[in-house]
């Protein structure tokens, strides 16, 4: 069910008749971009919704197609009168991380309003976060853009848990929201997340509670699972396909058949040549661990690469079937052993941006300029940049590259859809899986992707 309709199911909002497809296309042409998918779907079911006070006054509104244009124009008129005709260049006094430093971005599209503010979906960012524009007072003061949520579903959860907003508790509630939904990045720094999606979300499983997890395990019991014996127990593997790309889930149990872990993976089309140097038991779990390796070029591309005997760059990835692989292909650190493998790498994004082409990628503002094909093992750099006595590292990387294949796939167990992209990055291809809400429009071949992501890897051959 559409999440907006689901959120309104037990509310006193009165739904309007549905919008025509032609009206929405005309709206998108006027705005200059496609509407966020869930919002668009809602408008085709109900062209807005209204909530009334007992005296008949409007309390809150989901905006109709006409309201969107009218509200946007009214905000721009107010900004021109208050800040002058050049209001577009007027910076915010206290710019907040996660939103553009502007009074109103052209792609902040209003979708909801109440007595406190007008809420916009920020179509300039891949995850389409929610921006709240605080209403000015009678003197025209108090207007302020605030990051209300990192994506629509998060905002819906927040709104259904908190009936209405008022000026007295607004800032406290926004702060509580970020405390609840915020994340720490790989360097231990708090960031307002682009989206709170985990690896399960990226392959079409909504696993956000113990009951969700238990339901998935129950579903797997009815599937055909491959059994792999290890020194410490067994892996039971679900594979969508034995021969083609698809979802895989790795359940581990100990010798007594007690549940240990469940790891999601996607067996994709990418292949990379690596030199494996050692296995790292990073989670104090015999079934879950990483492989430290050096990426190898298929052919030497430059003199500097030819001069480096180790390879293009180091990387760390979460190794599927860790306990089985390290027994089958042992590595002795003391002997400086190296094993050459062909691996398939899958990236699950923490944050991601989509650009039309390399020109758009290069033009984007960022603290450090990167090439359109870049791979940086940021999870390995923690030991160099932090006080990290335990030497904790993570299988994460900054990746940029062009899309060489893109497909919207359906999870056969849940029926949910997700994107499978093959990214041509520095050193070779990488499969990337992403929840559809991370993209303002469908990713296409030739687009550039920039992401910080968790890396899984599967050994293909020795």
pLDDT, tens digit, for every residue of 345-400? Answer: 999 998 899 999 999 999 887 777 889 999 999 988 765 444 444 457 889 999 99
pLDDT value of position 166: 35
The β-bridge relationship of strands 374-376 and 183-184 is: unpaired
pLDDT, tens digit, for every residue of 109-161? Answer: 999 988 778 999 998 888 888 888 877 766 667 788 888 888 888 888 777 66
Tokens representing 342? 């062909």
pLDDT value of position 194: 46
User: What is the biggest distance separating any 2 CA atoms in the chain, rounded to whole angstroms?
Assistant: 81
Query: By percentage, how much of the chain surpasses pLDDT 90?
Result: 44
Helix (H) or strand (E) holding 273: strand 272-285
Q: Which of 313, 221, 312, 291 is nearest to 460 (CA)?
A: 291
pLDDT at 190 over 50: no
DSSP class of 20: P
Compute the average pLDDT of residues 307-334.
Answer: 88
Beta strands (DSSP E) in 297-447 are 313-319, 339-355, 374-376, 396-410, 417-425, 428-434
Distance CA 224, CA 239 (A): 8
pLDDT value of position 46: 92
Higher pLDDT, 86 or 193: 86
Straight-line distance from the first to the last Cα atom of the chain, in angstroms, rounded to the nearest whole number: 46
Distance CA 79, CA 215 (A): 51
pTM for the predicted model, two decimal places:
0.59
Distance CA 420, CA 245 (A): 10
The pLDDT-based confidence of 181 (bands split at 50, 70, 90) is: very low
What domains appear along the chain, each with residue ranges and CATH number? 3-181 (3.40.1580.10), 201-461 (no CATH)
pLDDT value of position 384: 42
pLDDT at 333 over 70: no
pLDDT value of position 60: 83
pLDDT at 437 over 50: yes
Query: By percentage, how much of the chain surpasses pLDDT 70?
Result: 83
DSSP class of 255: T
pLDDT value of position 168: 37
For 87-147, the three-class secondary structure string (H helix, E strand, C coil) is HHHCCCCCCCCCCCCCCCCCCEEEEEEECCEEEEEECCCCCCCEEEEECCCCCCCCCEEEE
pLDDT, tens digit, for every residue of 249-307? Answer: 999 999 999 888 899 999 999 999 999 999 998 777 899 999 999 999 876 555 455 55
Distance CA 248, CA 334 (A): 34
Residue listed under structure tokens 């010798």: 255
Arithmetic mean of pLDDT over the chain: 83
pLDDT, tens digit, for every residue of 209-254? Answer: 778 888 999 999 999 999 999 999 999 999 998 778 899 999 999 9
pLDDT, tens digit, for every residue of 115-127? Answer: 778 999 998 888 8
pLDDT value of position 266: 96
pLDDT value of position 52: 75
Q: How many residues does the chain have?
A: 462
């Amino acid at each position: 069910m559409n999440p907006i309709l689901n959120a309104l199911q037990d509310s006193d909002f009165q739904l309007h008749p549905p919008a025509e497809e032609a009206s929405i296309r005309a709206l998108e042409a006027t705005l200059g971009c496609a509407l966020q998918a869930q919002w668009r779907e809602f408008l085709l079911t109900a062209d807005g919704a209204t909530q009334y006070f007992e005296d008949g006054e409007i309390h809150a509104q989901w905006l109709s197609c006409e309201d969107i244009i009218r509200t946007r124009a009214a905000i721009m008129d107010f900004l021109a009168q208050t800040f002058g005709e050049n209001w577009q260049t007027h910076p915010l006094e206290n710019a907040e991380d996660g939103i553009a430093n502007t009074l109103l971005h052209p792609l902040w599209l209003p979708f909801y309003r109440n007595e406190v503010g007008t809420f916009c979906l920020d179509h300039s960012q891949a995850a389409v976060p929610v921006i709240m524009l605080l209403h000015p007072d009678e003197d025209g003061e108090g207007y302020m853009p605030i990051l209300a949520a990192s994506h629509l579903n998060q905002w819906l959860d927040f709104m259904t848990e908190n009936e209405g907003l008022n000026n007295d508790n607004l800032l406290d509630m926004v702060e509580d929201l970020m405390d609840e939904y915020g994340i720490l990045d790989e360097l231990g720094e708090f960031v307002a997340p682009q989206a709170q999606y985990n690896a399960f979300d990226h392959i079409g499983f909504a696993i956000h509670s113990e009951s969700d997890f238990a339901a998935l395990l129950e579903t797997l019991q009815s599937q055909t699972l491959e059994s792999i014996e290890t020194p410490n127990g067994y892996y039971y593997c679900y594979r969508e396909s034995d021969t083609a790309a698809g979802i895989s889930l790795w359940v581990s149990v100990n010798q007594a058949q007690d549940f240990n872990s469940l790891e999601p993976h996607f067996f994709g089309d990418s292949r990379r040549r690596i030199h494996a140097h050692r296995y790292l038991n990073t989670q104090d779990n015999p079934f879950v661990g990483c492989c430290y390796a050096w990426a190898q070029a298929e052919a030497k591309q430059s003199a500097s690469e030819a001069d480096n005997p180790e390879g293009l760059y180091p990387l760390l990835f979460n190794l599927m079937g860790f306990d089985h692989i390290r027994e089958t292909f042992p590595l002795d650190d003391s002997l400086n052993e190296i094993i050459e493998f062909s691996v398939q790498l899958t990236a699950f994004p923490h944050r991601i941006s989509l650009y039309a082409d390399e020109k758009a990628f290069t033009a984007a503002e960022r603290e450090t300029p990167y090439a359109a094909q870049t791979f940086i093992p940021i999870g390995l750099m923690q030991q160099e940049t932090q006080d990290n006595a335990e030497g904790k590292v993570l299988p994460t990387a900054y990746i940029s590259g062009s899309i060489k294949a893109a497909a919207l796939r359906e999870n056969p167990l849940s029926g949910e859809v997700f994107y499978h992209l093959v990214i041509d990055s520095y050193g070779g291809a990488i499969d990337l899986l992403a929840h559809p809400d991370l993209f303002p429009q469908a990713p296409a071949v030739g687009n550039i992707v920039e992401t910080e992501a968790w890396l899984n890897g599967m050994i293909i051959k020795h």
